[in-house]
Chain A
Amino acid sequence: MVVTRFKTESGATKKPKAPAVKPVRGAHVAVRGLSHTYRRADGPVLQDLDFEIRQGEVVALLGRSGCGKSTLLHMLAGLSHPSTGEVAINGNEVRGPSPRWVMMFQAPSLYPWMTVAQNAALGLKFARRSREIATRVPDVLELVDLASFAGRNVQDLSGGQQQRVALARSLATSPQMLLLDEPFSALDAFTRRSLQRDVRDIARTLGITMVLVTHDVSEAVLMADRVLVLDANPGRVAHDVAIPLEDAARSTGSEAFQREQARMMQLYTDVAHGDATTPLT
């Protein structure tokens, strides 16, 4: 299968993207009996988590600040290890970071002495796949709509464009899974919306499994096929909710979206015990 067209928010097809970035087989994730307690902490930050993520699924981990979302994501990435239980990707226990899954953070953390293309090429360079740079980098830059910025210094780009470069950098090595830790929270509303839509589209067309950490209900509903609502102290999966929305309905203006959002907001506030200080958006 070759990627040829992209859907815009209204569902109409945009101009076909010429370069073909081949789809990959998304990662399958299994979390089994996972609990974690930080040293010197009073109680566990995560307790008895059990869930699976299917290949190519987009899953949001939704929960208030401090409930352990980042901790969980780091464990999925193999950047840290749970006190008990395990994370298995494609049937194998995760023992450390791997180029097959990449994490993206709130700050794009680009290297300011490099051009857009050089930044995007880093993963390939580190993986000793420099020969692929010439073809692969233009393709991923095209995918994130930055083809014409290849030679620019990243400091000349807006925050949203920088986050797109970070996305291209993550995609260049053809990972099976993207792990996003509140990657859009530093962006303005308009830029955030277009990135939310594009990142979901890209993950879906490429078949990449995506795990998105967020405390923003509308972001979770816009982007995810499934939302895990996390409880705090200790962190547990309170609700495991499918978002049965067509891509065409994934826009803040659609009625179906608003229904789903209202439903999710209800679950989220219930979990947060109606605490008025909980960030809702």
Chain B
Amino acid sequence: MTAIPDTPAGGFRLPRLGRLRGIANAALGIAALMLLWWLGGLAVANDPDMFAFADFAPAPTLAALQDIVTSGEVWQMSGPSLYRVGYGMGIAAAIGVPVGIAIGRIPFLREITNVPFQFLRMISPLSWMPIAVMAYDTWDGAIVFLIAVAAIWPILFSTAAGVRRIDPSWLKVARNLGANPFHMLFVVILPAIAVDILTGLRLALGVAWVVLVPAEYLGVTSGLGYAINDARDTLDYSRLAAVVVVIGVIGFALDWLCMLAIKKFNWVRDTAH
């Protein structure tokens, strides 16, 4: 980064200091979490009733984590999971965005769908599990369905809310300038609500990632949920804890990517000039 000559020193240093402080605080938070984990491990190890679970402590977990990372097993576990989540999210977005736009634009549709959608939204995606298993030939199909069912609502509602917040004069001016419906959608509406869609995707991803693990307890023999189940069955608790860490790290990374995308597409200026 190059300093702009006429920027006062304070104006240049302050953001950088603020950033350093942010990093330091984040490190502090991570350290606190590690400490709690370590204390928990210590307590479990000293409790005769729970002694068997001592491998959940940081040291054995991190050793197991190193194992699955160096052996490349971590990719074998997370690859199928990421595929399922990506597939389910793709379906949810392919339905949620168009339906959200339609609901946001057409009051009649909004009114008739309001109660059914709010009702469906409140049903835990996992309660569809038996139906999904019956409806789909493959376990994979059932899991993707469950993820899509979980992910569609945040995308749909966030998109619809974004459409309703569109400044009506943007539509009026576009019509005045001769925009056809195609222009209206791709030049005005979609850029206007890009951040709302991405925010919906981010929320959806959070839900989908949470639903994924229990969904993978179903018959499949791959993925992070399966790895957890498998480790439990073989009483390999350090490995189980290592998979939990992997789930957390990937979830965090996906969320962070969403945030980057939101930042990139956000056209709202933070500061007024």
On A, residues with C-beta under 8 Å from B are 77, 79, 97, 99, 102-103, 105, 107, 109, 111-114, 122-123, 125-127, 153, 155-156, 169, 173
Contact A169 B267 (CB under 8 A): no
Contact A156 B273 (CB under 8 A): yes
Q: Which one of A77, A105, A125 lies within 8 Å of B183 (CB-CB)? A: A125
Shortest C-beta distance, A93 to chain B (Å), equals: 19
Given contacts A109-B167, A122-B187, A156-B273, contact A99 B178 (CB under 8 A): yes
Contact A126 B267 (CB under 8 A): no
Q: Collect the chain A residues with CB atoms within 8 Å of residue B173's CB.
A: 105, 109
Q: Collect the chain A residues with CB atoms within 8 Å of residue B194's CB.
A: 113
Q: Collect the chain B residues with CB atoms within 8 Å of residue A114's CB.
A: 191
Pick the most buried of A99, A102, A113: most chain B CB atoms within 10 A of its CB. A113
Q: Could you say which interface size class chain B belongs to? A: 20 to 34
Given contacts A97-B175, A126-B174, A127-B178, contact A109 B268 (CB under 8 A): no
Q: Which one of A97, A107, A125, A156 lies within 8 Å of B176 (CB-CB)? A: A97
Given contacts A125-B187, A126-B179, contact A113 B192 (CB under 8 A): yes
User: What DSSP secondary structure best describes chain B's contact surface?
Assistant: helix
A169–B269 CA distance with the chains assembled, in angstroms: 22
Contact A126 B178 (CB under 8 A): yes
Contact A123 B169 (CB under 8 A): no
On B, residues with C-beta under 8 Å from A are 167, 169-170, 172-180, 183, 187-188, 191-192, 194, 267-269, 273
Q: List 13 A-B contacts (CB under 8 A).
A: A97-B178, A99-B177, A105-B173, A111-B170, A112-B267, A122-B174, A122-B177, A122-B179, A122-B187, A126-B179, A126-B187, A153-B267, A169-B177
Contact B170 A109 (CB under 8 A): yes
Given contacts A111-B188, A112-B268, A113-B192, contact A126 B177 (CB under 8 A): yes
- Residue on A nearest B179 in the bound complex, by CB: A126
Q: Collect the chain B residues with CB atoms within 8 Å of residue A169's CB.
A: 177
Q: Which one of A102, A153, A155, A156 lies within 8 Å of B177 (CB-CB)? A: A102
A113–B177 CA distance with the chains assembled, in angstroms: 18
A125–B176 CA distance with the chains assembled, in angstroms: 13
Q: Which one of B169, B178, B191, B267 lies within 8 Å of A109 (CB-CB)? A: B169
Q: Collect the chain A residues with CB atoms within 8 Å of residue B183's CB.
A: 125-126
Q: Collect the chain A residues with CB atoms within 8 Å of residue B191's CB.
A: 111, 113-114
Contact B169 A105 (CB under 8 A): yes
